[in-house]
Chains A and B, each alone.
Chain A
Amino acid sequence: MSGADVRVVVLAGGLSHERDVSLRSGRRVAEALRANGADVTVADVDAGLLATLAADPPDVVVPLLHGASGEDGALRDVLGLLALPYVGSVPRGCRVAFDKPVAKTVATSAGLATPSSVTLPQTTFRELGAAAVMAALVDALGMPLMVKPARGGSSLGAAVVRTAAELPAAMVGCFSYGDTALVEHFVTGTEVAVSVIDTGHGPVALPGVEVVPDGGFYDYSARYTAGATEFFAPARLPSAVLQACSAAAVSAHAALALRDLSRTDLIVDAEGAVWFLEVNVAPGMTETSLFPQSVTAGGLDLGVLWRGLVDNALARGAC
């Protein structure tokens, strides 16, 4: 560990739909870092941020913004311009991970299985007639379907569609959050989230966390209401399948050229096959989030881990 008074700015909040989640993540990581000797300031992302950072540059920035600009790489590009070291993936990896259809393509190239899907902007439905396009989607992908915004997180605007009659409402809900939808065959099975960390010796998977929401769907309420979801860490799967999950997450992390930490969401179907859904460069760090549970299940301390990531960022400098 380097000097006990490393100065850290945790960026949390922002203007995305996930502002509230980000604020909670920021507070949690800030506390964990303070408990490990860091001098931490939590800052929102607003018009005053760059002036503040320039006037009194911290040793390391920890971006914990969820949703656009925080996760799509734009903000990290700016941190690069300011020559500030930061924890987490470089902009290119963020851009790929944040765009779920592109991430799926990259994951497929890396040999991972991902549910068949189609990505369509709202204009396509308008120009070609929604009924015809939706009928084609159902024919091509088969029920049930998962509809979610192509960009964004916390399952905002996402819905599982089990009958064709439910599809229009799901599309509308999705387009409220963004103008492009990812419509994916919904693979029924065990939801597993695998967090990956790289503390300087290559990416390593932490124990996968199995998610069992009370209502059957891991929606916003299930994610952020304490007690509304049951978690198993490690997941209740045969060890060969668990290893396959870990390998898939590490492959995704590597294929997308991610750095320091990520969380990959997977589904394991009834046959034990592992399906890649998406990967997050800024995984949630709230009291009910998956990444901190993986850390605990891996026998690590969240604060010690974060302090290690901060020290690594400081050592490698702005790059």
Chain B
Amino acid sequence: MHQHCRPVSQSHAREVAELADEPTSSPPARGSRLDPFVDAYAERARTMIASEIRALFSVASRPEVVSLAGGMPFVSALPLDSIAETFRRLIAERGAAALQYGSGQGAVALREQIAGLLMPMVGVTTHPDDVVVTVGSQQALDLVTRILCDPGDVVVAEAPSYVGALSVFAAYQASVVHVAMDEHGLVPAALREAVDALARQGRRPKFLYTIPSFHNPAGVTQPQSRRVEVLSICSSYGIPVLEDDPYALLGFDGVVPRALRADDGEGVLYLGSFSKTFAPGLRVGWVVAPHGVREKLVLAAEASVLCPSELSQLAVSAYLAEQPWWDQVKVFRELYRERRDALLDAMASQLPAGTTWTVPDGGFYSWVQLPQGLDATSMLARAVTARVAYVPGSAFYAGAAKDLGRSFLRLSYCYPDPDRIREGVRRLASVVCAELELFATFGSSSGAGGAVPGHGGSASDVPGPATA
């Protein structure tokens, strides 16, 4: 086809054509890093690197891909028209307050609702003064770690644990010691063993970070007897507990598990969130903490954001006051139960023998273990090619422990509808079968490319918040 092209003349072409004939300038002694800040970064930014795995999630945001990766709540189920009217009146009638700075501790009206309405549901009696409202419970994690952890301090967390918490701990240069879980959550004997082992090294954990109900990513819930045991161990060793409880109201049988905080008001910091029961886009969460901690949290929050969004807080407050929010929680439970069932049925009928998974009683996730020898991290590229995405298990372990997660993956069922979930599992099953064949051929499915040991334990191996 070239012969049909018209000849082209180009004003600066001559100058470009002469480039090759120009004498080569002498190369600089020091190369370019393409980032003038390269020598300016703090040590804590060292693990913040580009990730091959994260790049794959960029494809997961396309509609062709069934994403079982992200944990986006299905907010389309909210009565949006009716919420719009509530928000309209908020601006019309209380706009001057809603659009103004607020208190660093959070709006009083919302703290009263949290203390009077939400906390009793998980068995906790508290006063609005003990509540600090935060920019999602993610900021609460950040603030608590900021005031409790110096670089090198130890945090004990479940194995696996919430990746967003691991990112916070890494940012404050705390080391994480993982403690085993089983189908009933954190194993008390393993906790005692880990703490004893640390004590022999002369170290004491700054706190235990735990998600006792509808765990992310493990999908399991601790029975009450075990909660008592965990509290007793922590109390006997003098270890504070950071209880992360965003899914508490989303149990499928309607039972709201009793919070650890309910049985130890002094030793437990409780994190709550409106992100799963209402709207993550508003970024409203909270901490309930003993008074000394609470005062430091407020000062830390003011240094961080001055105050949480007053508009978001008043919007949540108005939603709780004016909308049938509890009925909506029941709608969400039913919706997520239906999706969980779709996931479990599809896994049972499609995934090859040797694959196992947890059966969640609430929340968003099931934790899947691949047949022996398979590696979920190196399998992800194949999965994305097959138009299905998940989060590889190693994302939920910190640092050197990442390898413990390589045979696992997290599947979330909160966002896609049941038919999409079934299609996603069908695609995943074909990927697992192909990977089994690779394993049979090579005797290993651990890829050398990409996120391998030595990769630095970057918490960037997970989808961004908006990638579902």
Contact = CB atoms under 8 A, between A and B. Distances in A.
B59 A17 contact: yes
B50 interface: yes
B106 to A, nearest CB: 37
Nearest to B380: A176
A316 B8 CA distance: 7
A319 B28 CA distance: 42
Given A46-B62, A168-B442, A315-B8, A221 B31 contact: no
Given A17-B381, A197-B16, A204-B19, A159 B25 contact: no
A122 B437 CA distance: 10
Contacts, number: 218
Given A23-B58, A176-B449, A231-B34, A236 B442 contact: no
B11 interface: yes
Contacts of A229: 33-34
A2 to B, nearest CB: 10
A223 B41 CA distance: 18
A207 B5 contact: no
Given A170-B448, A172-B445, A316 B6 contact: yes
B92 interface: no
Which of the four size classes fits the interface of chain B? 35 or more
Given A156-B381, A176-B447, A199 B16 contact: yes
Interface residues of A, number: 84
A221 B381 contact: no
Main secondary structure of the interface of A (DSSP, over half): mixed
Contact of A166 (B12, B55, B448, B456): B448
Contacts of A226: 33-35, 38
Interface string B361-386: 00000000000000100111110110
B441 interface: yes
Contacts of A156: 52, 55, 381, 449-450
Interface string A187-208: 0000000000101111011110
- Main SS class of interface, B: loop
B66 to A, nearest CB: 13
24 contacts: A17-B59, A17-B381, A17-B384, A18-B55, A21-B55, A46-B64, A122-B441, A169-B444, A172-B438, A172-B442, A172-B447, A177-B385, A207-B24, A221-B51, A226-B33, A226-B35, A227-B41, A228-B49, A230-B32, A231-B34, A234-B25, A293-B32, A308-B11, A312-B8
Interface of A: 1, 13, 15-21, 23, 44, 46, 80, 90, 122, 125-126, 130, 147, 154-159, 161, 166, 168-177, 197, 199-202, 204-207, 210, 212, 219-221, 223-236, 239, 242, 246, 250, 287-288, 293, 298-300, 304-305, 308, 311-312, 315-317, 319
Interface of B: 1-2, 4-14, 16-17, 19-20, 23-25, 27-28, 30-35, 37-38, 41, 49-52, 54-56, 58-59, 62-65, 375, 378-382, 384-385, 387, 437-450, 452, 455-456, 458
